[in-house]
């Protein structure tokens, strides 16, 4: 009888252990599945809301916005086609969004209209409050909004990184001659970038960190303040160039439509306006031709600048004569 | 021996009842999640519709422009006509921008004195993207301006959304 009782007790314990363990595994599995689903659902929600925010930013240019991102990272790919919120991807195929490659903790956004001289597009700028923009030896604001983490220092050695996950150094002078401060040296190479703005040539030179110094990473050209700001926000030349291609594509399509518009207007009985409108048509044709190749080169920047000035003057003259304006 | 058997049976029944309760709780939780997911889906659909409607606010291709000040509630008749000739439904750029939409502009003003000059309706864009299971229409009142004759008319922008 004792033997039977011993067997029974042992069997009971083994049975309870097996069943308890099974229940634990089930609970653990269900808990993990719920957590994973909740995370994916939150990422999906954030991706959709962000897409909506990017769309509505176009209607609120010069307005600074911010959004808290608790435990969510937003990754912008170099091909400019999508942005990822965790595992969820959302398309930005037609929207020019200039940003660092990773945005986390607090997203800050801004937008400017791009006028050539008619409104060609809206350029959207997105970054994080935890990215430091360090203006080295620069007293002006460069058109940057107030909602970003910008700091002006007289020299690079004066800068101390306050636990920012990324640092963007901005120079007018050549940064290769300067040595990185200790707080920047200990950061990862991918988290430190620099640009040199050469205003005389409408050029921005990019640099990246390699070890304890900076190395060259490419050059881009900008046409005006909105495109210069775009170059400042862009992590690298690739992000700038592929987003500018989107902007140039839209410029090309718009100039085509405006050319058709001028052709229709010139069929009207407004003889005093026709010579000016024909001149404007010529300028719009030049824009249409220049924007067929969507890459922004040094020559194209100069050409667009000249056309913009001419078209602006023509529009003013049309306005004075009470003629239908180009824009 | 009988006592031992009863003991084992008791244990089995306890575990069985706990399992049944857990399964019921699980089914209930799944049901709640499904309901939440459906509500979330409806919310996302509405958000998507709003987003598509908002695209019309940022269209310098069609909006009235006064020295680059764009009026989102005013559409330039000549720009409309020119934009239609560009045929946006065939452009990949506009397909990406608008998506599966039908955009029509209609002049509503009964006093349109230039009926020879302007059509009553412009079919700006129409792209179904293949089969569609639903179609919702939104009407938005706008001003339609003739920049040559400096006259304005009432009109609708009719936004059809394919689902």
pLDDT at B5: 80
Mutate: best of B22, B40, B57, B58, partner A, most A CBs <10 A: B58
CA distance B123 to chain A (A): 16
**Predicted structure pTM score:** 0.86
Mutate: best of A257, A268, A322, partner B, most B CBs <10 A: A257
pLDDT at A98 over 80: yes
Long-range own/partner contacts, residues B54-61 (CB < 8 A, 24 or more apart) = B54/A55, B54/A56, B54/A59, B55/A55, B55/B97, B55/B98, B55/B101, B56/B103, B56/B140, B56/B157, B56/B159, B57/A58, B57/A59, B58/A55, B58/A58, B58/A59, B58/A122, B60/A118, B60/A119, B60/A120, B60/A254, B61/A253, B61/A254, B61/A257
Across the interface, whether the CB atoms of B11 and A12 are under 8 A apart is answered yes
Across the interface, whether the CB atoms of A59 and B72 are under 8 A apart is answered yes
| Cβ pair A94, A288 in contact under 8 A | no
The boundaries of the domain holding residue A5 are: 1-126
The boundaries of the domain holding residue B83 are: 59-162
Most confident of A218-222, B7-11, B28-32: A218-222
Residue A133 has a CB neighbour count (10 Å cut-off) of 21
Same domain, A196 and A116: no
* Confidence category of residue A29, pLDDT binned at 50, 70, 90: confident
Total of domains in chain B? 1
In a domain, A326, yes or no: no
Across the interface, whether the CB atoms of B15 and A268 are under 8 A apart is answered no
Cβ of B49 under 8 Å from any chain A Cβ? Answer: no
pLDDT at A172 over 90: yes
Across the interface, whether the CB atoms of A119 and B26 are under 8 A apart is answered no
pLDDT at A20 over 80: yes
Mutate: best of B148, B149, B150, partner A, most A CBs <10 A: B148
Same domain, A143 and A231: yes
Report B:102-141 residues touching A (Cβ under 8 A): none
Same domain, A156 and A106: no
Residues of chain A contacting B51 with CB distance shorter than 8 Å: 51-52, 55
Q: What is the mean pLDDT of residues B2-12?
A: 80
Residues of chain B contacting A115 with CB distance shorter than 8 Å: 68
In a domain, A325, yes or no: no
Same domain, A31 and A93: yes
Total of domains in chain A? 3
Same domain, A134 and A121: no
């Amino acid at each position: 009888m004792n033997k039977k009782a011993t067997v029974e007790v042992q069997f009971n314990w083994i049975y309870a252990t097996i069943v308890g363990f099974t229940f634990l595994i089930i609970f653990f599995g269900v808990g993990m599945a719920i957590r994973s689903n909740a995370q994916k659902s939150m990422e999906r929600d954030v991706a959709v809301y962000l897409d909506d925010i990017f769309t509505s930013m176009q209607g609120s240019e010069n307005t600074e916005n911010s959004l808290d991102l608790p435990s969510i990272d937003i990754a912008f790919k170099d091909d400019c086609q999508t942005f990822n919120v965790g595992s969820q991807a959302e398309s930005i195929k037609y929207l020019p969004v200039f940003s660092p490659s990773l945005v986390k903790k607090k997203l800050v956004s801004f937008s400017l209209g791009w006028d050539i001289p008619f409104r060609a597009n809206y350029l959207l700028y997105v970054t994080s409050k935890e990215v430091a923009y360090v203006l080295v030896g620069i007293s002006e604001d460069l058109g940057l909004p107030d909602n970003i983490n910008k700091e002006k220092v007289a020299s690079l050695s004066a800068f101390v990184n306050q636990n920012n996950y990324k640092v963007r150094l901005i120079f007018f002078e050549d940064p290769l001659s300067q040595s990185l401060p200790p707080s920047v040296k200990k950061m990862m190479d991918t988290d430190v970038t620099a640009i040199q703005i050469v205003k005389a040539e409408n050029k921005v030179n990019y640099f990246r960190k390699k070890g304890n110094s900076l190395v060259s990473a490419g050059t881009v050209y900008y046409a005006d303040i909105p495109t210069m700001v775009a170059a400042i926000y862009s992590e690298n030349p690739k992000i700038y160039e592929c987003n500018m291609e989107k902007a140039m594509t839209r410029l090309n399509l718009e100039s085509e439509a405006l050319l058709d518009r001028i052709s229709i207007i010139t069929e009207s009985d407004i003889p005093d306006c026709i010579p000016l409108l024909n001149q404007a048509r010529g300028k719009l044709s030049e824009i249409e031709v220049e924007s067929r190749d969507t890459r922004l080169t040094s020559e194209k920047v100069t050409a667009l600048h000249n056309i913009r000035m001419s078209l602006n003057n023509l529009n003013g003259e049309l306005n004075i004569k009470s003629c239908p304006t180009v824009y | 021996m009988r006592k031992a058997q009863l003991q084992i049976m008791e244990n089995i029944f306890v575990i069985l009842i706990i399992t049944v309760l857990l399964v019921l709780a699980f089914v209930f939780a799944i049901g709640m999640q499904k309901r939440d997911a459906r509500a979330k889906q409806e919310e996302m659909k509405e958000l998507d519709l709003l987003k598509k409607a908002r695209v019309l606010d940022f269209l310098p291709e069609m909006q009235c422009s006064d020295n680059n000040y764009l009026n989102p509630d005013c559409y330039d008749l000549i720009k409309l006509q020119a934009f239609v000739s560009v045929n946006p439904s065939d452009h990949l750029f506009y397909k990406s921008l608008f998506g599966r939409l039908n955009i029509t502009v209609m002049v509503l003003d009964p006093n349109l004195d230039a009926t020879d000059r302007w059509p009553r309706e412009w079919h700006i864009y129409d792209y179904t993207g293949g089969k569609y299971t639903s179609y919702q229409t939104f009407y938005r009142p706008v001003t339609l301006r003739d920049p040559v004759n400096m006259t304005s008319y009432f009109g609708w922008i009719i936004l059809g959304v394919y689902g």
